[in-house]
Chain A
């Protein structure tokens, strides 16, 4: 699915976070948003996801105006910078969440959900942690669970906020190629943003980098 943002404006009080930003991401492309901290990368991702309303401009999904479509309907997978895993749920329940909240008609059966969750957990190589709680995981493990959770609902767009901020942790480095391969395999449209160009191990080099500047 292609994404197009046009003339996006966002203001926080007196502070203009985004000033007339226009970008387009063709279907199937892996794009990295780069720029110094505070330049508005997160804000732009949140606007694309529908978590924030722009003060001006439009967001098009696949040529259609999605500016006022509710987050729920946008089918955007979002991996938050700090993952936002549900602390009161096990890893399994976290990943299953998106499937279990579907309306009755569209909700897969219990067995199907379990299969799907385990498949995703295997994909991120953490199947053995299914019964743990998030605070019993390392930072990198959490990130991979957050990714699996986002993928579970088969989003059309995957947005990752600072996926490599935790590059110190081994596990995060392991997750980098994973992100790339899993998302490519699923032919997701894939965006991510990070403040400094990645520690290039080459395995998840974006197709394209977009440099955002502080205004």
Chain B
């Protein structure tokens, strides 16, 4: 048994023999994929960092601690910190409702969840202007009560939530659909409460999908431009998020500063990806350890 496992392990490092395509097909496919990756991902990323440091590290850091930039960074993180958890709650509940229950209007709900993908972010922003703007439905009431939604932080957060809300649900629905309800049912027959079932069975079994959804959601929350641009009001040091700040700097010919800010966004994205890979790596390592231990015992 132990011998079997090790030969298997060795074999998987080579190209899989079960694949029947000739070698040149495999190689050219791999080359195409790598060239595309390099062209559309690596080169632009390198270019961003190169341009960011084009005037030296001093200018780079100065442009990040500059009050407007620093505020934009904080606002972007705040918007993500509010919208991502809300989206997780919404996404899990929606996916749960859609996949575990039978009810009327299910199709309508799925379509609604996709809405932010279908409408342009600019339209999403305008919806909020229509609702909360001074000329909008709730505008006069908000003004009378001295509440600010658009052209203030709440509007930015709302717009971010709107454009990101399909991410978690969209990631989870197919996963939970495929898994069905049998794990939850098994848990219930074993005496677990609904709450215990949710935390100990459902959540762990969708963990990877959820994590992936969160990463996508977070990336979009921090990177959103269109919808936020409409409701921001562009008040410097108050309602500019990082992407808006980058555009402003770029339009003012401050290329180094603009790419410095862009490199922060790119950096945040890279960090999330690294975290994800680390978690995945740890996960597979644990499993392999268990398999090895079991194999040794036999």
Q: Which residues of A contact B (CB under 8 A)?
A: 49, 51, 71-72, 74-78, 80, 82, 84-90, 97-98, 101-102, 128-129, 131-133, 136, 149-150, 152-153
Instruction: Tell me the B169-214 residues at the A interface (CB within 8 Å).
Output: 182-183, 185-193, 196, 200-201, 204-205, 207
Closest to A101 in B: B192
Q: A128 contacts B298, CB within 8 Å?
A: yes
List of 10 A-B pairs having minimum Cβ-Cβ separation, nearest first: A98-B190, A101-B192, A84-B182, A84-B186, A88-B204, A78-B189, A71-B188, A132-B294, A101-B196, A131-B290
> Are B183 and A128 closer than 8 Å at their CB atoms?
no
The residues of B that contact A88 with a CB separation of less than 8 Å are: 204-205, 207
Contact of A87 with B189 in the complex, beta carbons under 8 Å: no
CB <8 Å contact, B290 and A132:
yes
Q: Is the CB of B185 within 8 A of A128?
A: no
Question: Are B291 and A136 touching (Cβ within 8 A)?
Answer: yes
CB neighbours (8 Å) of A71 from chain B are: 185, 188-189
CB pair A128–B192 under 8 Å, yes or no, is: no
Q: List 15 A-B contacts (CB under 8 A).
A: A71-B189, A72-B191, A72-B192, A76-B189, A78-B189, A84-B185, A85-B186, A86-B183, A86-B186, A88-B207, A97-B200, A98-B191, A128-B294, A131-B294, A149-B186
Contact B293 A131 (CB under 8 A): yes
Interface presence of B287 (CB below 8 A):
yes
| A101 adjacent to B294 (CB under 8 Å) | no
Query: Which residues of chain A are near B188, meaning CB under 8 Å?
Result: 51, 71-72
Please give, as numbers and ranges, the residues of chain A lying within 8 Å of B207 by CB-CB distance.
Answer: 88
- The residues of A that contact B200 with a CB separation of less than 8 Å are 97, 101
Query: Across the interface, which residues of A come within 8 angstroms of B291, CB to CB?
Result: 132-133, 136
B4 at the interface (CB under 8 A from A): no
Which residues does chain B contribute within 8 Å of A97, judged by CB atoms?
187, 190, 192, 200
Which of B189, B191, B200, B201 has the most chain A CB within a 10 Å cutoff?
Answer: B189
Nearest chain B CB to A189's CB is how many angstroms away? 15
Beyond A72-B188, A72-B192, A101-B200, is A82–B182 a contact (Cβ under 8 Å)? yes
Kindly identify which residue among B183, B190, B201, B298 contacts A153, using a CB–CB cutoff of 8 Å: B190
Q: Is B145 an interface residue (CB 8 A)?
A: no
Extra pairs beyond A74-B189, A89-B204, A101-B190 (9, CB < 8 Å):
A51-B188, A77-B189, A80-B185, A85-B186, A88-B204, A98-B190, A128-B298, A129-B294, A136-B294
Interface flag for B297 (CB, 8 Å): yes
User: Closest chain A residue to B189 by CB distance?
Assistant: A78
B182 & A128 in contact (Cβ 8 Å cutoff) = no
* Closest beta carbon of chain B to A140's beta carbon, Å: 16
Q: Give Cα distance in the complex from A183 to B150, angstroms.
A: 67
Do B193 and A72 have beta carbons less than 8 Å apart?
Answer: yes
**Residue pair B193, A101 in contact (C-beta under 8 Å):** yes
In the bound complex, residues from chain A placing their C-beta under 8 Å from that of B182 are 80, 82, 84
Closest B residue to A70 using CB positions? B188
- Measured CA separation A97–B291 after assembly (Å): 21
Inter-chain contacts of A80 with B (CB < 8 A): 182, 185-186
Residues in B neighbouring A101, C-beta threshold 8 A? 187, 190-193, 196, 200
Most B C-beta atoms less than 10 A away, residue of A49, A97, A152: A97
B297 lies within 8 A of A128 (CB): yes
Q: Which of A88, A102, A129, A133 has the most CB of B within 10 A?
A: A88
Q: How far is the CA of A98 from the CA of B188 in the complex (A)?
A: 9
Question: With A128-B294, A133-B290, A136-B291 given, is the CB distance from A51 to B191 under 8 Å?
Answer: no
Give min CB distance, B126 to chain A, whole Å. 42
- How far apart are A17's CB and chain B's nearest CB, in angstroms? 15
In the complex, A128 Cα to B186 Cα: how many Å?
24
User: Which residue on chain B has the smallest CB distance to residue A100?
Assistant: B200
Beta-carbon contact of A51 and B189 below 8 Å: yes
In the complex, what's the smallest C-beta–C-beta distance from A127 to chain B, in angstroms?
10
The closest CB in chain A to the CB of B283 belongs to: A88
In the bound assembly, the distance between CA atoms of A93 and B269 in angstroms comes to 36
